[in-house]
């Protein structure tokens, strides 16, 4: 896919397999409902990101899938490469900067609260800042954007724990940084409480 924009959006997604996604949520509600919820989350980020006027890349966790919800006309499909989440994200950013993009943002596929406007605001923030980050309530982050690769952001982090955002901010203490609003991702049973679309999965 040729570059059509100075901006690129990376979406990291897991291949939706029974027993392999949302395992902490599945521990409470079961594997099949957890898979259904993950598919709803994927459909949400597809809808949110499709409306953004920028080049878009979806990076799969295990294998690239054709004929799925990620329309090949809107998303270029890639594979995550690396032994942990940090290496995988670093490699994805590096690839797109080498392609020639000037602003690159990454989001995950499990933030039900994220909107098209949030991502557009993040790209706007990069006009006057070198980095932008969207903190998650669990101590991680749901969005990270930058104008140049900073490898430290992806090193020496305990991925999946509540220290990731705090440690990332330390790496950015001398940088021009914009913070977005805090949002909740969907990892455990408590995260789906109060969300109408998930009501049928409550126990």
CB atoms within 10 A of CB 58: 26
Q: What is the pLDDT, as a whole number, of residue 156?
A: 93
Q: Look up residue 162 and give its two tokens.
A: 């509540």
> For residue 153, what are the domain limits?
7-193
Residue at 198 is within a domain? no
> What confidence tens digit (pLDDT) does each residue in 105-162 have?
999 999 999 999 999 999 999 999 999 999 999 999 999 999 999 999 999 999 989 9
In this predicted structure, the answer to whether residue 4 has a pLDDT above a threshold of 90 is: no
Q: Look up residue 141 and give its two tokens.
A: 């982050």
Which CATH number covers residue 58?
3.90.550.10
Residue at 201 is within a domain? no
Classified as helix, coil or strand, 130 is: coil
> What confidence tens digit (pLDDT) does each residue in 159-170 have?
989 999 999 999
Residue at 76 is within a domain? yes
Count up the domains in the chain and report the number: 1
In this predicted structure, the answer to whether residue 89 has a pLDDT above a threshold of 90 is: yes
Rounded mean pLDDT, 2-20: 93
Q: What is the pLDDT, as a whole number, of residue 182?
A: 96
Residue at 139 is within a domain? yes
Residue at 167 is within a domain? yes
Q: How far is CA 120 from CA 67, 129, 133, 150, 154, in A?
A: 27, 14, 13, 22, 24
Task: Check if the beta carbon of residue 103 is closer than 8 Å to that of residue 123.
Answer: yes
Helices and strands (DSSP H and E) totals, the chain: 5, 7
Residue at 43 is within a domain? yes
Percent of the chain's residues with pLDDT above 70: 100
Residue at 136 is within a domain? yes
CB atoms within 10 A of CB 4: 10
Residue at 1 is within a domain? no
Q: What is the pLDDT, as a whole number, of residue 5?
A: 87
Rounded mean pLDDT, 35-52: 96
- Residue 139 Ramachandran class (φ > 0 left, ψ -120 to 50 alpha, else beta): left
Q: Look up residue 200 and give its two tokens.
A: 């049928």
Q: What is the pLDDT, as a whole number, of residue 2?
A: 76
């Amino acid at each position: 896919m040729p570059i059509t924009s100075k901006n690129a959006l990376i979406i990291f997604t897991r291949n939706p397999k029974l027993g392999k996604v949302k395992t902490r949520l599945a521990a409470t509600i079961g594997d099949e409902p957890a898979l259904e919820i993950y598919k709803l989350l994927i459909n949400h980020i597809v809808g949110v990101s499709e409306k953004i006027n920028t080049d878009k890349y979806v990076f799969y966790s295990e294998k690239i899938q054709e004929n799925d919800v990620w329309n090949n006309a809107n998303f270029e499909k890639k594979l995550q490469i690396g032994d942990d989440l940090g290496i995988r994200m670093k490699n994805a950013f590096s690839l797109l900067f080498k392609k020639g993009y000037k602003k690159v943002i990454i989001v995950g596929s499990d933030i039900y609260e994220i909107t098209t406007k949030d991502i557009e605001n993040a790209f706007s923030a990069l006009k006057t800042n070198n980095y932008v980050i969207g903190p998650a309530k669990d101590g991680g982050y749901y969005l990270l954007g930058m104008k140049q690769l900073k490898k430290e952001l992806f090193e020496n982090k305990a991925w999946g724990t509540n220290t990731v955002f705090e440690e990332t901010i330390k790496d950015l203490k001398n940088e021009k940084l914009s913070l977005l609003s805090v949002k909740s991702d969907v990892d455990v049973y408590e995260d789906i409480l109060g969300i109408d679309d998930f009501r049928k999965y409550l126990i």
